[in-house]
């Protein structure tokens, strides 16, 4: 019987994961099926159990269930434990392994696709939601010289910094960024998704810096501001595909080639 995989979220209709995993399966000649499943907001566990009974072997998990997926896992990778959030579940005979590939996907996009080495660099992360929980640990472990977490709700940035306890981490609000500049600026807020403005001081964009928008497929106000202040820019398509490739490798033991999938998504 064909092994089945899914992306589980709410909403999930917009997800590009079925197409991406379909391309990976074709390229690596793996016989799998990958579907979208919208779980009721109060029914994540029930939905996963049903999927496992229907020959589900693994699942990607997206908003708003990444924390529920962490609780559902019987075994967590170190990264998923640190993040308190899981985006990849693998179902095995002995239980459920939870992983978080958001951070590894971002790091690979930066290093391999964009040629940006994080080691020793000053990094500003805007936001303190689920995505940030997944990316801060890998950024710190890659040797970033300084990582500043800035969030609209400042207390959330402070809580995260306290919980993660990397010496290079610092938390603040957006006003405290005035006059400071960074080598890498990551927009991990959802402002780009909703066409909202992000009120940050333009000083954050050092000339020659890389400004990275996690939202993909659109020119956001953040990207326009970064370009106007001399920063190079990138959106989150590379991260999306690389985190998917890491999930695929965990499930199937083979890491697919990603460049052609990223190029095809950009074209679309
Ligand atoms: P989330 O948990 O809902 O967090 C949203 C964040 O955005 C919070 O820090 C929130 O600040 C901030 N925010 C929302 N509206 C704002 C505004 N008007 N001004 C300033 N800050 C605002 O979302 P998430 O899961 O972290 O995801 C964040 C974004 O990353 C999403 O757009 C998602 O699509 C994208 N993402 C992309 C990838 C990829 O592979 N490319 C992977 C994961 C996520 P408060 O705490 O103050 O509310």
More confident residue, 212 or 268: 212
Probe ligand 1: pick from 15, 189, 235, max atoms within 8 Å of CB? 189
| pLDDT above 90 for 38 | yes
State the Cα–Cα distance between residues 265 and 216, nearest whole angstrom.
Answer: 10
Tell me the CB-side half-sphere exposure of residue 105, using CA atoms within 13 A. 29
Tell me the CB-side half-sphere exposure of residue 116, using CA atoms within 13 A. 25
Atom of ligand 1 nearest to the CA of 105: 40
The band of 265, judged by pLDDT with boundaries at 50, 70 and 90, is very high
Write down the H helix ranges in 56-208. Answer: 66-72, 78-83, 102-108, 130-141, 154-164, 191-194
User: What's the gap in Å between 120 CA and the centre of ligand 1?
Assistant: 26
Mean pLDDT of 54-77: 97
Atom of ligand 1 nearest to the CA of 243: 40
Nearest CA to ligand 1 atom 4: 129
Write out pLDDT tens, residues 229-254: 999 999 999 999 999 999 999 999 99
| Residues annotated as part of the active site | 66
User: What's the gap in Å between 194 CA and the centre of ligand 1?
Assistant: 10
Position 17 scores a pLDDT of: 98
| pLDDT above 90 for 193 | no
Nearest CA to ligand 1 atom 6: 189
Position 242 scores a pLDDT of: 98
State the Cα–Cα distance between residues 260 and 213, nearest whole angstrom.
Answer: 21
Specify the 3-state DSSP secondary structure of 187: strand
| pLDDT above 90 for 48 | yes
**Which residues form ligand 1's pocket by a CB distance below 6 Å?**
63, 102, 127-132, 151-153, 156, 188-191, 193, 196, 198, 214-216, 236, 239-240, 243
Position 1 scores a pLDDT of: 85
- Cis-peptide into 64, omega within 30 deg: yes
Atom of ligand 1 nearest to the CA of 132: 26
More confident residue, 130 or 146: 146
End-to-end Cα separation, the chain, in angstroms? 33
User: What's the gap in Å between 188 CA and the centre of ligand 1?
Assistant: 5
Nearest CA to ligand 1 atom 1: 129
Probe ligand 1: pick from 21, 127, 135, max atoms within 8 Å of CB? 127
Question: Percent of the chain having pLDDT more than 90?
Answer: 96
Measured CA angle at 263 (ends 255, 186), to 5 deg: 80
Atom of ligand 1 nearest to the CA of 66: 25
Nearest CA to ligand 1 atom 27: 131
Nearest CA to ligand 1 atom 32: 190
Mean pLDDT of 29-55: 98
Write out pLDDT tens, residues 154-182: 999 999 999 998 999 999 999 999 999 99
Atom of ligand 1 nearest to the CA of 238: 41
Average pLDDT, the chain: 97
| pLDDT above 90 for 81 | yes
Nearest CA to ligand 1 atom 13: 189
């Amino acid at each position: 019987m064909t092994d089945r995989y899914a992306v589980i979220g709410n909403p999930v209709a917009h997800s590009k994961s079925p197409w991406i995993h379909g391309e990976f399966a074709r390229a690596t000649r793996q016989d799998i099926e990958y579907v979208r499943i919208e779980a009721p907001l109060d029914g994540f566990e029930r939905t996963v159990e049903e999927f496992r009974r229907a020959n589900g072997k693994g699942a990607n998990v997206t908003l708003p269930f990444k924390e529920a997926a962490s609780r559902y896992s019987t075994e967590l990778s170190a990264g998923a434990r640190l993040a308190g959030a899981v985006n990849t579940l693998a179902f095995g005979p002995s239980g459920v392994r939870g992983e978080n590939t958001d951070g590894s996907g971002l790091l690979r996009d930066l290093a391999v696709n964009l040629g940006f080495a994080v080691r020793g660099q000053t990094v500003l992360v805007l936001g303190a939601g689920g995505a940030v929980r997944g990316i801060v640990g890998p950024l710190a472990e890659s040797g970033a010289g300084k990582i500043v977490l800035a969030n609209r709700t400042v207390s959330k940035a402070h809580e995260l910094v306290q919980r993660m306890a990397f010496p290079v981490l610092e938390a603040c609000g957006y006003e405290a960024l005035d006059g400071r500049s960074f080598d890498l600026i990551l927009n991990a807020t959802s402002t780009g998704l909703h066409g909202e403005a992000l009120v940050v001081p333009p000083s954050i964009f050092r000339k020659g810096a890389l400004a990275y928008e996690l939202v993909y497929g659109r020119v956001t106000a953040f990207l326009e501001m970064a370009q106007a202040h001399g920063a190079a820019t990138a959106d989150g398509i590379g991260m999306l595909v690389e985190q998917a490739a890491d999930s695929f490798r965990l499930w199937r033991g083979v890491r697919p080639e990603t460049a052609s999938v990223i190029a095809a998504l950009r074209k679309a």
